[in-house]
Every structure is written in C-alpha cells, then in structure tokens.
A and B are shown apart, each in its own frame.
Chain A
Amino acid sequence: MTTNPLFLQLLVGTLIGLGAGYLGSFMILKRMSLVGDVISHVALPGIAVALIFEINPFFGAFTALFLAIVGIWFLERRTELPSETLVGIFFALSLALGILITPEPELLEALFGDIAKIGPTDALITFALIAIIFFTMFRIYRELTISIISKQLAQSMGINVSKTSFLFLLLVAAIVAIGLKVTGVFLMGALVIVPAAAAKNVSIGLARFTKLAALFGGISALGGILFANYFNLHPGPIVVLASGVVFLLTLLFKK
C-alpha cells in the first residue's frame, strides 16, 4: 500500500480531531467519560468481520459501534445512569474477541491506527461525516444540553430527550469509527475525551468549552501527526500523547 501525502494525512487527521474533541465535550457533560474512553474497543470485532469479508473496515467498525451505542442508549432509558459496570465488562470482552478474530497482518493497524494508509474513500467519508456532525450538533446542542441539565425540564419544553440522545450517540459512533484510522481501536476513545477534559479545565461557559475541545482535538491530531512524521514514529499514540500534553498545560490555568 502506498503512503498518502502528508498534507492529506494532516487534513483528515485534524478534521477528525476537531470532531472528536467537540463531541467529547458533550460526552463529558453527559458524564460519560468512561464510556467515551473505551467505546472504541467495541469496534475491533466489527473491523475483523469486515476484513474477513473484504469490505471497508470503516463499515464494520461503524456497525459494531452502532450496536454498542444502541445498547448504551437502551441502558440510559431504562435507568437514570448508564451502567458503568456493564459497559466496562462488555467493552473489554469485545476487545478480547476482536483481538482473537482479527487477521494477524492487519491487527497492529487496527489496534493502533495508521493514518499514512488512508485512502481516498476514507478521506471522502471523513469530509462528509465531519460536515454532518457539525451540522447536526448545531441543530441539537441546545436540546441536548437542556436534556443533560434536567430530563424533566427538557420534556416539559417538548424536547424529545431520547431521540436527541440517540442522535448524539450516533454521531459519537461515527467519529470513533472514522477516527480509528488515526489512533486505532485502543486509543480513539482518548481522542474523544482527553481534549474535552483539557477544555473543561480552562472554561467557565459552554461555548468556550465546546470550541476549545474541538480546537484541542484538532491541534493534538495536527501536532501529533507532524511530530510522528518528523521523527518517523507511529502517529496514533503520538496524537493521544499530544492531547495529554495539552491536558497537562491546561491544568496550569485551571478555572
């Protein structure tokens, strides 16, 4: 497989970082940091099945993530809080199963990502998804936030809490599925949560929090890919480490 030009990697990586950070801010508002952090693990069996049947792994990953999201959404509806224990167990089991059935030559890439290998299809999917994510969030962020503050209040205002939450979780599944190319199954969840956690350190209000989360995600991806390219390192872990550096820096200015 040929390596794509650095420019394309940076563009796709940065867009994914922006989307992941932005959605991550609402995952944190929903108190779903743990879910956000490990949700990417669920994608592995999906990737494996896609590889076995020779379809684009994105679709396998998305399908697996979609099923996980439906599960989480269902738990959310049944109980007030997502069941962290169940999530922890189920996600770890998915990862174990995925490692077993993923064909060995592709395992390393699936686990840690390889943005150098993104194809034109992946790039197109990324552009389309990022557009859909920001457009949809622009439409639902008010409803989503009110639902998080108080489900009862939201319902009394005519907001469909359950539908809003489902739409949002669907977007999370999409960003994680496409982001696997950048950081892999192990670390994509971190790219959703860490930049948003950093943004929370230095924000009082929602507007600044969500924008900074997107920005930190984008910068982490951009900086990480550049750094990895320069020193010939694996970009996935470097991107996540970059977001970790941003997090540490924000601690100095914590509100």
Chain B
Amino acid sequence: MANQETVLTVENLGVKFDDNEVLKGLNFFVQKGDVLAIVGPNGSGKSVLFRALLGLVPYSGKIQWAPRLKVSYVPQKFNIDKDMPLSVEEFLKFKEKKSERIINALKSVGITDEHHIEHHILNQRIGWLSGGQIQRVLIAWSILDNPDILLFDEPTAGIDVGGEETIYNLLKKLKDERGFTILLISHDLNIVYKYANNVICVNKEMVCYGEPHMVLDPVSLAKLYGGEAGFYKHEHGHDH
C-alpha cells in the first residue's frame, strides 16, 4: 500500500442545495489504479458527489486531487436522439481535431476495423448507433485527451444486460492497459463485486466504505436500500 499514490482525498464532504442537505460527512480516498464504485438508491446524491468532485457545485469539507491530474467525466444524461443531426466524427472532433487520435480512441474501445470506423461509425448520425455503440463512443470521447482519472455516471444506463458486461469488461481492459483510475456510479451490485476494488455506499451519508465483499453486508445494504436488498449478500457471499 505504501508505494501507492493517493490521487484523491475527500474529507467531511457536504453539499447543500438551499436548505436541503444532499450529502454530508463523506470521507474516502482513492489511489492510483483504483476502481471505486459508488452505489446508492435513486436520489441518494451519487451524481451530486461527482459534480462536487468536479467543482461544479458548492460544497463544504475538503476535496483534494493530486496535482496535475487530468479528469474526464461522462455524465449520465445525454440528449442524443435519433433525430439529431450530428455525426460521430463531428462529436469527437469537438474534443480532438486529429483524425488518427480519434481512430485510435475508437480502436481502444473495441471498434477495431478501420474500414468499419471510417464508413459506418464516423460518418453516422450519433443517434443512429445502438445504445452499446453510443456508450463506446462516449468512452472513446472520455479517453481522447489521455486523462488519468475517469468518472462514469451509470456507464451502462439503457443497455441490455449482455451489453453491460461488455462495457465493464472494456473499462477493465482500458484500466489494465492504460492504468486509469476509475470512479463509477452503478446501480448494479453484481458489477460492483466483479469490477470494483472499493465501494462507497451513499444515501446522503456514507453508509459503507471499503472492499465490496467486506462492506456490502446485509446491515449496510438494508440501511442503504431500506431492508429489501439483503439477498444480494446471499448471492455473492463468501460463506459458500
């Protein structure tokens, strides 16, 4: 542990909108190469936590990033519909002008055939792609400028179960190859067990924090989701 570099330290973090306390008393840290999952029910402040980490909302407490880190963020909400006249190439060029870098990023996210990239991806309307393909393009977008840290808010929202696995395997591959540190919000505890080395359970406050199979016990899950999610432990428990 000693040789690992801490990239983010959060101490006593709180966020208030008007008089409404959205987050309070969060304490955690992230080390280089970590995959930290943030879980919690809808409206528990997960997305707000990301926005606070990015400095987009006012907060109290301490958020300290290691110096000279490049953070890339993929939000959950995108207004891309089938109708939107915007090609994949135009979208990616908003971030990076060089075509070869764009092609490399698309190859990194598993769209490997250059002919396919040029003729069936880049010149397509982004809204015409399938959910999984759009997600790949968004991940390509996020790695275009060689970031150190990736923040993903529900990277598989709107993708079928098989597709979800593919996207997470891709993220894992990218992390292994390029040494990214990844923070991701997920609703799927299976994914958390499988891919994250640390997890924070957030429901306004921090309900649990640590390695997934250590801290996602019935007590904290009940506290997090209101008593009904205890069976998750049963499915994934290490007692059998």
Chain A: CB-nearest residue to B153: A152
Max chain B C-beta neighbours (<10 A), residue from A29, A145, A153 = A153
Q: Residues of A at under 8 Å CB distance from B? A: 29, 31, 142, 145-146, 148-153, 155-156, 199-200, 203-209, 255
Contact sample, A vs B, 12 pairs, CB 8 Å cutoff? A142-B94, A149-B78, A149-B79, A149-B80, A149-B86, A149-B91, A150-B79, A199-B85, A203-B85, A205-B125, A207-B90, A208-B85
Is B85 within 8 A of A152, CB to CB? no
Is A205 within 8 A of B89, CB to CB? yes
Is A204 within 8 A of B87, CB to CB? yes
Residues of chain B within 8 A (CB-CB) of A207 are 90
Is B90 within 8 A of A205, CB to CB? yes
B209 at interface (Cβ–Cβ under 8 A)?
A: no
Known: A205-B85, A206-B87. A150 touches B125 (CB 8 A): no
Query: Nearest Cβ distance between residue B228 and chain A, in whole angstroms?
Result: 30
Q: Which of B107-125 contact A (CB under 8 A)?
A: 123-125
Is A156 within 8 A of B90, CB to CB? no
Q: Which of B45-78 contact A (CB under 8 A)?
A: 51, 54, 56, 73-78
Is A205 within 8 A of B77, CB to CB? no
Chain A: CB-nearest residue to B87: A205
Q: Residues of B at under 8 Å CB distance from A? A: 51, 54, 56, 73-80, 83-87, 89-91, 94, 123-125, 153
* Given A142-B94, A153-B78, A206-B87, 19 extra CB contacts under 8 A: A29-B84, A29-B85, A31-B79, A145-B86, A149-B78, A150-B78, A152-B76, A152-B77, A153-B73, A153-B75, A155-B56, A199-B85, A200-B85, A204-B124, A205-B85, A205-B123, A207-B90, A209-B85, A255-B125
Query: Nearest Cβ distance between residue B21 and chain A, in whole angstroms?
Result: 21
Known: A146-B94, A149-B78. A206 touches B56 (CB 8 A): no
Query: Nearest Cβ distance between residue B149 and chain A, in whole angstroms?
Result: 12
Contact partner of A145 (CB less than 8 A), chosen from B56, B83, B94, B124, is B94
Chain B: CB-nearest residue to A80: B77
Residues of chain A within 8 A (CB-CB) of B80 are 149
Is A152 within 8 A of B75, CB to CB? yes
Is A156 within 8 A of B73, CB to CB? yes
Chain B: CB-nearest residue to A156: B73
Residues of chain B within 8 A (CB-CB) of A199 are 85
Bound-complex Cα distance A84 to B56 (A): 28
Bound-complex Cα distance A208 to B90 (A): 11
Is A205 within 8 A of B86, CB to CB? yes
Query: Nearest Cβ distance between residue A79 and chain B, in whole angstroms?
Result: 14
Residues of chain B within 8 A (CB-CB) of A156 are 54, 56, 73, 75
Is A204 within 8 A of B75, CB to CB? no
Chain B: CB-nearest residue to A28: B85
Bound-complex Cα distance A220 to B105 (A): 42
Max chain A C-beta neighbours (<10 A), residue from B76, B83, B85, B86 = B85
Query: Nearest Cβ distance between residue B140 and chain A, in whole angstroms?
Result: 14
